[in-house]
Structure 1
Amino acid sequence: MSHPIVSVRDLKVHFPVRGGLLGRVTDHVRAVDGVSFDLMPGRTVAIVGESGSGKSTTGYAVMGMQDPTEGQIMIDGRDRAQMSPTEKMATMRRLQIIFQDPASALNPRMTAYDSIVEPLQIHRVGNARERRARVAELLDLVGLPQSSAGKLPREFSGGQKQRVVIARALVLEPQAVICDEAVSALDVSIQSQILNLLLDLQARLGLAYVFISHDLSVVRHIADDILVMQAGKVVEQGQTDAIFQAPRHSYTRQLLAAVPKL
């Protein structure tokens, strides 16, 4: 029986609200308030909700980009809070992230090659020849010609930029990828191409995804399980088909009613 790549238990992320002349803490914004889920190998957990629901903050906490206030984040059965800095660095190779806006996710002065190879350099993986071969392999994998390695971000379309970002996320051979609104900044016609690419990569590489989105029409095509978040809390959780066929919570029904229908 396989074990979860990531286990989240009662995750809370609270931000202090300060007021008065002395700037004392007067309250807290409960951005994430008691979220729990398991991410299994080869499966996709979608976190859905409107803006401000806490879904992206949950993803950042799982990634290690946001410190939790309470709760546990287990990576391969180990509590991240108990890891040494070296061990935390090693977990970054297992978990990667794709951001919403590919234009802001790429350094405008770095070529596609430089952006993709940078994680290999940071983690000291391979020599120069091996790194060049790995970048060429990744460009092929995401559907970009190898000649595009020398191009700057401004020379790519939005969809091509996101392919570069995906290649960079995969260069360290992660087990899981957090997709933070990974297609919402793209044209509808390009969204389907990137979704198909993500599904193809999952089938080839056995990747697990945490797919963060406000768009249930997108989520239905990619997710195995769904967490519906409202005001920092999970109001409904279950398999995708079950939630679409018989949503239990009124907020979930509202989200489903907002999905455009042909």
Structure 2
Amino acid sequence: MASKTLLAELQTALASYLDNHKNLSIQSISNKTGVSYSTIRRILQNEANDVRDETILSLILVVMPQAQRLQFLQSHYPALGALLKEAQSQPAEEPGLDHFKLRMYRFKDPHNYILKMALTAHGTTRKDVFRILGERGVTALDEMLEDKFLFEDRNNRVSHPSRGSFIMNADDILHQIKKDADYYDKSLVGSQFARLAHLSASLSLSAYKELIELVSEFAKKSDRLKEASQNQGAIPVFIDIMVNTYDRASLTGVS
């Protein structure tokens, strides 16, 4: 639930943006952000009891300048704020990839869903985005194209010059795993195209380490498979793996 302090800061930022842009209205902000007119009005009138994270991030991208936006994120979304600060202080890991925009879009939907498909060798198309996500998806796609984060070529292929997920820390990875759980198509379970498993156990230290090694080796082999040029195709696939303990204290004294 969004805190009162967060909503008060957001209200102030919205009011300031409108004061500094006399030619714009609440409807203009709604059109720019994809956030409904009624939600923006309720925030401005201090009538919003709670606002979704995706809504907040969509609004601050438009109504806050970069420095204020970073400070806001560091205060209310520490993990994301730390990632963005790190991205600003370091050179890009790959030419053409704006890590600030990447992380902001990773925390929005349906933008994140589109990125899953576009940040691959095959990319995606406007037609596929509409088929899967409808008009809301096309609006998000247009936003990223207008922002020059994604590009559409003469063959209507939407992509980004860079490839891959470029996930940098545990918080970001866990966020993507949570998103993938929402995207999971349960109708494919039972077919040859989907697997879903959950295992829990009480293991010896040697068995625990062996399990970690199995998962690590699987991740390495999967990465080599997806990067091989002969394996590139048109099917967007996701794989998520987690191994951990329910009781950290049980590892006391274990090196």
- Pair in the same fold by TM > 0.5: no
Q: Normalized per residue, which structure has more strand?
A: 1
TM-score (norm 1): 0.29
Q: Which has the larger radius of gyration?
A: 2
Flag the structure with higher helix content. Answer: 2
